[in-house]
Amino acid sequence: MNEGDTLLYLDGVTVTFDGFRALNALSLTLNQGEMRAMVGPNGAGKTTMMDVITGKTRPDSGKVVFGKDIDLTKLDEPKIAALGIGRKFQKPTVFEPHTVWDNLLLALANDRGTRFTMFARETPEEKRRIELILETTRLTDHRYRRGADLSHGQKQWLEIGMLLAQEPQLLLVDEPVAGMTDAETEQTAVLLREINKTRSVVVVEHDMAFVRALDVKVTVLNEGSVLSEGSIDFVSDDPKVIEVYLGR
Amino acid sequence: MKLDRTSSITIVAVIGLSLILAFLNQMTDVASAAHVPTYVIALAGKYLCFAMLALAVDLVWGFAGILSLGHAAFFALGGYAMGMYLMRQIGTRGVYGNAMLPDFMVFLGWKELPWYWHGFEWFGFAMLMAVLVPATLAGVFGWLAFRSRVTGVYLSIITQALTYALLLAFFRNDMGFGGNNGLTDFKDIVGFNVQADSTRSALLVISALLLCAQFLLARFVVDSRFGKILIAVRDTESRTRFLGYRPESYKLVVWILSAVMAGIGGALYVPQVGIINPSEFAPGNSIEAVIWVAVGGRGTLVGAILGAILVNFGKTWFTGALPEIWLYALGAMFIFVTLFLPRGVMGLFRARQAKEPEPEAPAVAAAHEVTG
């Protein structure tokens, strides 16, 4: 697949929970190698959109196409993960009893079957890949610490590291800088741009300063569909966006 | 595979103590002060079989977060397979002297051996069944339950229902397993008299060896990458799915393995206690097994063995000395452990080492399982 080809395509996706329309005929296109920021007020459908893409939620109607012609609505979570879509959750969820090293080891792109994992030994290649990710995510000195003992920011990075270890084509990152210090936020923007050199990324974020720092195309969601799309300056001047954000 | 110190001590202690007991029973004079009476041998053997059941429970509860309240069902099925073999060995020595039919079938007026009793005259076949029957039941049950993503208390309740259903089924005379009375009056096992002191001692040592083999196998499984994924599934199942793992496959494998371990425990239990009847399926037995694990320390494996032995030793003593208060004592012990030793007896040692990741306290874990 070449740079610029369509990687992910959502067409008219609707999801209803007990009568509440979380997604309302949402359509969206993401290109290969692109980084996209998604913003929107609470309840705009950002997390539901990620749930649909990763197979956690089945849409009532609409199409979700990955790559050339893979229909994601027909697949479950492990299959979608295996296709190369990785997801980072809003609340950092790392495996708390395991060390940073083991967290990355379990995330490494590898055979996921029980027979393989029962007898698997750490190979030099795996060690090399883990070392590399530790370096990228600045966790080299923390490799033997347990997930539970990391700071909030370190957990976020470990989770991004786990995403990298999966070697996905597309990363879905939900609020990566929530609860981070300013310095950590800045480093995270650098990290995501680094990742974007080789992979497509969708970032959902509330923090406008952070979105500005990413300097990418922005999609504004509201009430389950796209309200506005364009550069950060374009969308922040859009009267529809101003109305939604500043209230009626 | 590297063994930590606690595991090595456990293996040496289990095999060593069993050998010493067997030696003192066989090699000393009955009148001597050092003599270990045969009932102690049988009792110790029984404890070790319970320890296998506890180990099986700990493997699924401690490492995969599956709180089984029906594990005694697999134990009892293994026991019935052994019981059927032992019944066939009686032959013409039964009260009715029928070479083919066990006494209870003659009593019921049956003329022919039911088809599912065929083959059980061979020890190898019976032992294969002691493993295969629990494995098959666990396989079917687990496949259905885990695939439908049944977890937490719902799963616990179904396991409880499973063992209760088997209890009711095995009570029925026309099931062909001796009904209420079960299978008993055994004579020999592979040519040796079941009642003989030497057979009892040998069974104790065999139980010790098999318990250690199961322990090593469980250790291997939880220390492997598979085991790490299992722990990940226990704590954050949905996260493992987004990494591309299938939690249901991991649970199913460990669930079947656990059922097999329990079945082996049951098969060894029957010749040592001399009877198997439907009361082994009683839901209370499965719950007791969970208490053993909680007392010893959930998610430690060694704790399961320790807990099974300690609690059953307490039970033997209490039901002898103060039979009416045993159940209160058991309840009080569970409350005490939950409040003051949330990580069980093993928690006392772990606190000083504080190296290995600690499992959740049973009460906290149960709360998590309820709230999902």
For chain B, what is the mean pLDDT? 92
pLDDT > 90: percent of chain A: 61
Q: For testing the chain B interface, which of A106, A122, A171 should be mutated: the one with the most B CBs within 10 Å?
A: A106
Q: Is the pLDDT of residue B212 over 70?
A: yes
Mean pLDDT, residues B107-136 taken together: 96
- Using pLDDT thresholds of 50, 70 and 90, give the confidence band for residue B258: very high
Q: Are strands A225-230 and A217-222 parallel, antiparallel or unpaired?
A: antiparallel
Query: Encoding tokens for residue B274?
Result: 């001399």
Tell me what pLDDT residue A69 has: 87
Give the domain range for residue A135.
Answer: 6-246
pLDDT per residue as tens digits for the range B281-321: 999 999 999 999 999 999 999 999 999 999 999 999 988 88
Rounded distance, CA B231 to CA B353, Å? Answer: 20
pLDDT per residue as tens digits for the range B62-87: 999 999 999 999 999 999 999 999 99
Q: Closest-CA residue in chain A for B254?
A: A114
ipTM of the complex: 0.86
Sign of the Cα torsion A231, A234, A237, A243 reads negative
Are residues A95 and B225, on separate chains, in Cβ contact within 8 Å?
no
Asked if A227 contacts A219 with a C-beta cutoff of 8 angstroms, the reply is: no
Cβ contacts of A91 on chain B, cutoff 8 Å: none
The CATH number that applies at residue A117 is 3.40.50.300
Tell me what pLDDT residue B75 has: 98
Which burial class, exposed, middle or buried, applies to B98 when counting CB atoms under 10 A from its CB (0-12, 13-18, 19+)? Answer: middle
* pTM score: 0.89
Are residues A97 and B229, on separate chains, in Cβ contact within 8 Å?
no
- Using pLDDT thresholds of 50, 70 and 90, give the confidence band for residue A247: low
Tell me what pLDDT residue B9 has: 95
**Beta strands of chain A (E only): which ranges?**
6-17, 20-31, 35-39, 61-66, 70-71, 85-88, 170-174, 200-204, 217-222, 225-230
Q: Is the pLDDT of residue B36 over 80?
A: yes
Are residues A117 and B241, on separate chains, in Cβ contact within 8 Å?
no
Cβ contacts of A76 on chain B, cutoff 8 Å: 241
Query: Could you state, in order of their start, the residue ranges of all structural domains in chain B?
Result: 5-371
Are residues B235 and A102, on separate chains, in Cβ contact within 8 Å?
no
If you write DSSP's letter for every residue of B223-288 in order, what string do you get? HSHHHHHHHHHHH-HHHHHHTT--HHHHHHHHHHHHHHHHHHHHHHHHHHHSEE-GGGG-HHHHHH
Tell me what pLDDT residue B360 has: 56
Rounded distance, CA B82 to CA B267, Å? Answer: 5
**CA proximity to A243, closest of A231, A227, A229:** A227
B253 to chain A, closest Cα gap in Å:
8
Tell me what pLDDT residue A226 has: 93
- Using pLDDT thresholds of 50, 70 and 90, give the confidence band for residue A50: very high
Whether A106 contacts chain B with CB within 8 A: yes
Rounded distance, CA A223 to CA A237, Å? Answer: 20
Chain B interface with A: residues with Cβ < 8 Å? 221, 224-226, 228-229, 231-232, 235-236, 238-239, 241-246, 249-250, 253, 357-359
Mean pLDDT, residues A47-60 taken together: 92
Is A101 within a domain? Answer: yes
Tell me what pLDDT residue B3 has: 84
Q: Is the pLDDT of residue B170 over 80?
A: yes
Is A223 within a domain? Answer: yes
Whether A119 contacts chain B with CB within 8 A: yes
- Using pLDDT thresholds of 50, 70 and 90, give the confidence band for residue B342: confident
Domain count, chain A: 1
Q: Is the pLDDT of residue B356 over 90?
A: no
Rounded distance, CA A92 to CA A168, Å? Answer: 18
Residue type, A133: I
**CA proximity to A174, closest of A54, A66, A60:** A54
Cβ contacts of B246 on chain A, cutoff 8 Å: 78, 112
Q: DSSP assignment, residue B360?
A: P
Considering only the beta carbons, identify the residue of A54, A89, A106 that sits closest to B228: A106
